[in-house]
Chain A
Amino acid sequence: MSTTEGPTLIPDSAAAQAMADREAKGRRRRGWFPGLGDKWNALPRHIQWLWLMVVVVIAYLLPILNPPFITTEPGNNWQIALAQMSVYALVAVGLNVVVGYAGLLDLGYVAFFAVGSYTAAMFTSPDSPYLHIPYLWTLPLAMAITMFFGVLLGVPTLRLRGDYLAIVTLGFGEIVRILATIIPAMKGQVGFQNVGHPPGTDANGDPIFLNSNGTPWYWLTLTVIIIVLLLAGNLERSRVGRAWIAIREDEDAAEIMGVPTFKYKVWAFAIGASVGGLSGALFAGQVGFVNNQKFDIATSILFLAAVVLGGTGNKVGAILGGSLVAYIPLRFTSIAEFKYLIFGVALVLIMIFRSAGLLPARQRLLAYGRLAYNKLKEPPMSRRVQVTTDGGKEAGDE
């Protein structure tokens, strides 16, 4: 177009190179695994899928492999540890939608986790006098109920500035715990025993899903995680994900660019809440017992630490962070007592020194972005060859 022929607006190749360098440097400075993201993104699609399959297969085999050094035994049963890690990972994936994508600080996430747990318990435990339904039905039910609570809490607060949400959710987290104590129907500290589990028996006629056997629960949660990840990926590379990131970056500008910011904030909050509820229901099933002692604010902050540790906004990082937060106290039992202190300090240190977390990665926000960016590197554009080759990697970053 006519305007591109101007003398100054287009930086010369040296300047463009400098910019590409700056960008590459900025990327390199983030993260403890430098270049991993670049290498990964440079791989062709089918190779990526192949690697992913390998990772998934290994993940499914973990309870059987029981790898030495990594295992939490003899201190803690490895299969049950895996089940707990997977629940934390799922929690982190859900919270990441709220905190990482939309930039909304939810400090009461444990409340949604609790609501999910109580949903599973109150509809399946023999201690509960209410309607009983099969355990697996409680998973969608827990999602629906927590989503309802998410909207209920989100609608009044999300119209306001973001930091009010933090304090309201913090209060909500504590309120749910108090209500679980004072409302008799929720049975306070006595709680609900023998929470239900999915059906199925093994060759001996024993149920497959036992509280003492973590493996089936781990597989179930892992499967749920994979489904949630795929769906979250779909959202990320769509109008919804772009709206979230735009809100995080500059809410006013997003609104003026036609993004209904309030609507998408409520969506982020509700989706996050429902994943929290889902993980709560899975947790209740695996542990088999729910009372008011498990859902304090400290747990909420652990969840936040999981997201921040993994890399805010990165769903793979969230899985890593969630697993680590559950894993470290189980593996290193001598420091388990201090886990809150450790993760509290870690939270501050990460924010000050490495805000991008362990696995910093930018979101991919375009469903077919790869095609577009790859196209850019094809025709070597006269004098900007260097930019475009370097830009190829950049496209990979996408």
Chain B
Amino acid sequence: MSEAVEPEIDVDALKEQGVDLKVAEKVAPERDSPVKVGEPLVQVENLTMKFGGLTALDKVTFDINRGEILGLIGPNGAGKTTCFNAMTGVYKPTSGTVKLEGKALNGLPQHKITRRGLARTFQNIRLFGEMTALENVVVGLDARHRTSVGGALLRLPTHVREEKSAIERGMALLEFVGIADHAQFLSRHLPYGYQRRLEIARALATDPKVLCLDEPAAGFNPAEKEELMALIRTIRDDGYTVLLIEHDMRLVMGVTDRIVVLEFGKKIADAVPKEIRENPKVISAYLGEPEDELA
């Protein structure tokens, strides 16, 4: 695109030269982390969440290592989404800590947690319906922007630069999740599968270190799930760390590097998929679980 300001995001030109450009470099060129690949990026320690008398999470402890796809599974009501919400600041945990790159996230407002590098999608899609797909993604990109009211009012150069690059990056992200040709549609008019992808794009736009996906395959048929698995792998290959909540075992087994299993708010297993499959505790937890998701 001719109005590109920063050379590293001149997507079309690079592609024409046959350069294989990963989305991470396009949308998040300044990513680095003190944590090395394979070391714990997120540390969840003794996370406990009580609602009145009900203990939804009981001293859950696990790590998310940089560069892995971690599955968080469990039967319905096991506390997956609660764990997720406690990690991302939706709930204030009763006790326990969540650390990102060794720094505690407790008590931070949600938008600051996102800016630290923990982004999420929603189980029940929550896009900004009156915005176009591209605008939705740009809202995510804004988390990394610095202009505020003053800069926007006076159209300062920083603002202009950020606006232009936001469009480039936003389009690159939409292209990455495969819906670039629908950038101009209002998100509430997009088909269901597109909305799910747009959610992922919007979360990626915040330039997260860890991308948390909350049942991204809900309502998908097997073929769509295959595509989603491919997309998740691509995201990881781009250098993102992924936390995946799912109760569809096949999808989780197929894509994750490691799995944490919750049951009744407690962690009952933490191992590679192959071991999880043979773990008697996990098997008994899932016994009686309807098989419809495995179809």
Contact = CB atoms under 8 A, between A and B. Distances in A.
B226 A366 contact: no
A163 interface: no
A234 interface: yes
Nearest to A384: B181
B44 interface: no
B96 interface: no
B218 interface: no
Interface string B167-183: 10011000111101111
Interface residues of B, number: 73
Contacts of A231: 153
Which has the most chain A C-beta neighbours within 10 Å: B153, B181, B203, B223? B181
Contacts of A397: 184
Contacts of B126: 250, 252-253
Contacts of B181: 376, 381, 384, 387-388, 391
A243 B186 CA distance: 16
What is the predominant secondary structure among interface residues of chain A facing chain B?
Answer: helix
Contact of A258 (B132, B143, B153, B167): B143
B145 interface: yes
Interface residues of A, number: 64
A20 B221 CA distance: 24
B110 interface: yes
Contacts of B286: none
A1 to B, nearest CB: 6
A249 B183 contact: no
B39 to A, nearest CB: 25
B37 interface: no
Nearest to B199: A253
Given A2-B230, A368-B3, A8 B223 contact: yes
Nearest to A393: B184
B135 to A, nearest CB: 5
B139 A257 contact: yes
A349 interface: no
What 8 A-B pairs are tightest by C-beta distance, nearest first? A258-B143, A238-B152, A4-B178, A6-B227, A367-B163, A258-B114, A249-B128, A253-B126
Interface of A: 1-4, 6-11, 15, 19-20, 22-23, 26, 231, 234-235, 237-243, 245-246, 248-250, 252-262, 267, 271, 362, 365-369, 371-373, 375-376, 381, 384, 387-388, 391, 394-395, 397-398
Interface of B: 1, 3, 88-90, 109-111, 114-115, 119-120, 122, 126-132, 134-135, 138-140, 142-143, 145, 147-149, 151-155, 159-160, 162-164, 166-167, 170-171, 175-178, 180-186, 189-191, 193-194, 197, 202-203, 206, 221, 223-224, 226-227, 230-231, 234
